[in-house]
Chain A
Amino acid sequence: SQKIEQNSEALNIQEGKTATLTCNYTNYSPAYLQWYRQDPGRGPVFLLLIRENEKEKRKERLKVTFDTTLKQSLFHITASQPADSATYLCALEETGANNLFFGTGTRLTVIP
Chain B
Amino acid sequence: GAVVSQHPSWVICKSGTSVKIECRSLDFQATTMFWYRQFPKQSLMLMATSNEGSKATYEQGVEKDKFLINHASLTLSTLTVTSAHPEDSSFYICSAPRGSSEKLFFGSGTQLSVL
Contacts and interface: CB of A to CB of B under 8 A. Distances in A.
B30 to A, nearest CB: 13
B43 A105 contact: yes
Contact of A102 (B6, B43, B91, B111): B43
Tier of interface size on chain B? 20 to 34
Contact of A46 (B44, B49, B91, B104): B104
A43 interface: yes
A44 B94 CA distance: 10
Which label, helix, strand, loop or mixed, suits the secondary structure of the B interface? Answer: strand
Interface string A72-106: 00000000000000000100010000111111110
A9 B41 CA distance: 9
Given A43-B95, A43-B109, A104 B103 contact: no
A43 B111 CA distance: 11
Given A41-B111, A43-B6, A101 B46 contact: yes
B102 A99 contact: no
Contacts, number: 51
A49 interface: yes
A99 B46 contact: yes
A71 B44 CA distance: 21
Contacts of A34: 102-103
Contacts of A45: 106
B28 interface: no
Contacts of B93: 43-44
Top 3 A-B residue pairs of the complex, sorted by shortest distance between their CB atoms: A43-B106, A46-B103, A102-B43
Interface of B: 4, 6, 32, 34, 36, 41-46, 49, 91, 93, 95, 102-109, 111
Interface of A: 4, 9, 32, 34, 36, 41-46, 49, 89, 93, 98-105
